[in-house]
Chain A
Amino acid sequence: MAEQAVTDSPDHVAGDGVRRRDFINIAAVSAAGVAGVSILYPLISQMSASADVLAASSTEIDISAIKPGQAIKGVFRKQPVFIRNLTPKEISEANAVSVSSLRDPQTLAERTKEGKENWLITMGVCTHLGCVPLGAGEGETKGEFGGYFCPCHGSTYDTAARIRKGPAPKNLEVPKYEFSSDTVVKIG
């Protein structure tokens, strides 16, 4: 294309290559393009999470009062986090499931810390569209698989908080956490 223009141009002198005017044209448009993109970058980036939102990134929660079969809701990044003390029956139910049959295949062991398999810590955020599933609070339905049930679109999770039925694509997310002591867990 450029060569075509060069050969066609009446003021072209053989061997000169690109005309000065072509060069100025391309350089000017390129510079304007780069400038345009660099103006766009801050305009887009300003919409991402701001520093104060990112700073509120870890929480410590006391778990000493949670008896087997109970759960509490904590807050992590302004979203609920479920901390659940599984009963031996719930643990064996979770282990009895064939992992390959799951939509998001994971074992209970992969979703808990070693030696603390009864502590199931997940985000309380349905992986479908972000509602808070029921099942952590006293008296709430746990759904047909004994874990959590999302009332918005009917996603049902089992006792390892794995998706078993409904539209959600993933298991409830396990956040990064560690046990600061036997009774305190630090999330984030």
Chain B
Amino acid sequence: MSFPWAQQYKPVNPFMRWMDEKLPLPRLVYNSLGAGYPVPRNLNYFWNFGILAGLCLGLQIVTGIILAMHYAANAGVAFDSVEHIMRDVNWGWMLRYAHANGASAFFVVIYIHIFRGFFYGSYKAPREMVWLLGVTIFLLMMATAFMGYVLPWGQMSFWGAKVITGLFSAIPLVGDPLQQWLLGGFAPDNAALNRFFSLHYLLPFVIAGVVILHIWALHIPGSSNPTGVEVKSESDTVPFYPYFVAKDGWAVGAFAFLYCLVLFFFPNSLGHPDNYIPANPMSTPAHIVPEWYFWPFYAILRAFTADFFFIPAKLMGVLAMFSAILVWFFMPWLDRSPVRSGAYRPLYRKFFWVLVLDALVLGYCGGAPAAEPYVMISQIAAIYYFAHFLIIVPIVSAIERPDPLPTSITEAVLGKDENVPLMASPTAPFPGTQHSNA
């Protein structure tokens, strides 16, 4: 689980010694988040987003459990109960805004976390399982966020539920019965609202479970780092506590500042005014869009306007939208380059930034009305999106000539200055260098 030079847990207090024999939970924490976990010394701020994602999950669970104490999942009163939270419940307005904007914060953090992975090749061996579990968490997050947005039972809630469950009706033969089964009726109503509430309460705990697996899988090879060079000696690492606990603390403070700025000054800036209109099955809002974090995928869904060979446009759009995320699962095998970090991959790095731009363009089009020129721009951007993963990444990894890698993390940090203390000589590595690139 860890490097041989990791600090050992030695309980001094008799109670802690007794505890260590009966249930070594403090030992687990010490070895996972304490001084017993050696971390590459060169981690930059992008490595803070894992802990921020964990913080967001905790924030959503705490605010969510409280909101559930005041919310009523019944189509007749759901909208009013949300207004009751906003107007009557002590601090209800703050808790609801904290939860709604917490979802946005969670997605901001997770998108940075994911793109950090794309840039630094975090998905590569030996961390494929970390990546696969991460993509799974993202899928669970999307399902949870979607069902949560239905609960206020406003116009956007209702029509979002109708459109998203409508995706399943695209499946041949079983589509319509499947949609009716998911909704418990012919259109979203009380049955759908109730089950979405039940699942919205359940899924965050499922996410928490997969997060534990994600961290477990991460701690087997240990954290990656910006050079992509594996840890070779003790001088490449510092203990997680106090170094990264302190750095994560700084990140939590910076995050809290930005989060509170939105929460207290622009709490509705990311929402849709239409969701303050009670759900009306007879009238679709003129412009229905999902929440911003689904826009890139929504743009891909809408990009298919004509039948594609024998596959109807509707099914094609649905398949493409799901494939846009499922393709991430294959990243560890699509990218064959032995060099992990984009910092040493001049060509991959350029295409990475084009992908970022492409995702932003898709996001913009997904939030725009379903009209030209946005449809055509989405079509081009969607083609590029898939080309990036299925064509560009494999070809680049085959033809690219990477920049020379540093011999070790220590060398990357301190340079070749002979006078620098703690430097690991490339020719005479420290004992215990069996942790080479797997």
Partner-B contacts on A (CB < 8 A):
44, 47-50, 53, 73, 75, 77-80, 103, 127-133, 150-154, 166-169
Contacts and interface: CB of A to CB of B under 8 A. Distances in A.
Interface string B188-201: 01010001000000
B113 interface: no
Contacts of B195: 47
B29 to A, nearest CB: 37
A25 B10 CA distance: 49
A152 B284 contact: yes
A154 B314 contact: no
B304 interface: yes
Contacts of A73: 282
A153 B314 CA distance: 11
A130 B288 CA distance: 12
Interface in B190-231: 191, 195
Interface string B307-326: 10000111101000000000
Interface of B: 159, 162-167, 169-170, 180-187, 189, 191, 195, 281-284, 286-288, 302, 304-305, 307, 312-315, 317, 369-371, 375
Contacts of B191: 49-50, 53
A37 B278 CA distance: 41
A67 B183 CA distance: 36
A167 B184 contact: no
B288 A152 contact: yes
Given A78-B186, A154-B375, A131 B163 contact: yes
22 contacts: A44-B181, A48-B180, A49-B184, A75-B282, A78-B186, A78-B189, A79-B187, A79-B281, A127-B314, A128-B314, A129-B163, A129-B314, A130-B166, A131-B163, A131-B284, A132-B284, A151-B370, A154-B305, A154-B370, A169-B312, A169-B313, A169-B315
Contacts, number: 95
Nearest to B280: A132
Contacts of B282: 73, 75, 80, 132
Give the top 9 A-B pairs by smallest Cβ distance, nearest first.
A129-B166, A130-B166, A169-B312, A129-B163, A131-B284, A132-B284, A154-B370, A77-B186, A130-B162
Contacts of A132: 282-284
Contacts of B371: 154
A76 B64 CA distance: 35
Contact of B181 (A47, A127, A129, A154): A47
Contacts of B369: 151
Nearest to A48: B181
Contacts of A168: 313-314
A166 B305 contact: yes
B279 to A, nearest CB: 11
A48 B166 CA distance: 16
A150 B314 CA distance: 14
Nearest to A131: B284
A133 B283 CA distance: 9
A49 B1 CA distance: 50
Contacts of A53: 184-186, 189, 191
Nearest to A128: B314
A131 B159 contact: yes
A130 B181 CA distance: 16
B302 A49 contact: no
A151 B371 CA distance: 9
Nearest to A132: B284
A49 B180 contact: yes
A84 to B, nearest CB: 16
A47 B284 CA distance: 26
Contacts of A77: 185-187
Given A49-B180, A131-B288, A132-B284, A167 B163 contact: no
Contacts of A44: 181
B186 A152 contact: no
Contacts of A78: 185-187, 189, 281
A154 B149 CA distance: 24
A153 B181 contact: no
B281 A130 contact: no
A167 B302 contact: yes
Contacts of A150: 284
B322 to A, nearest CB: 14
Nearest to B304: A167
A114 to B, nearest CB: 28
Contacts of B312: 169
A167 B313 contact: yes
Nearest to A151: B286
A79 B282 CA distance: 7
A129 B170 CA distance: 8
A129 B163 CA distance: 5
Contacts of A153: 302, 370
Nearest to A125: B187
B184 A47 contact: yes
Given A47-B181, A80-B282, A169-B314, 20 more contacts: A44-B181, A47-B182, A48-B184, A49-B180, A49-B185, A53-B185, A53-B186, A77-B186, A79-B187, A129-B169, A129-B314, A130-B163, A130-B169, A152-B284, A152-B288, A153-B302, A153-B370, A154-B370, A168-B313, A169-B313
A154 B376 CA distance: 13
A49 B159 contact: no
A78 B191 CA distance: 13
B125 to A, nearest CB: 36
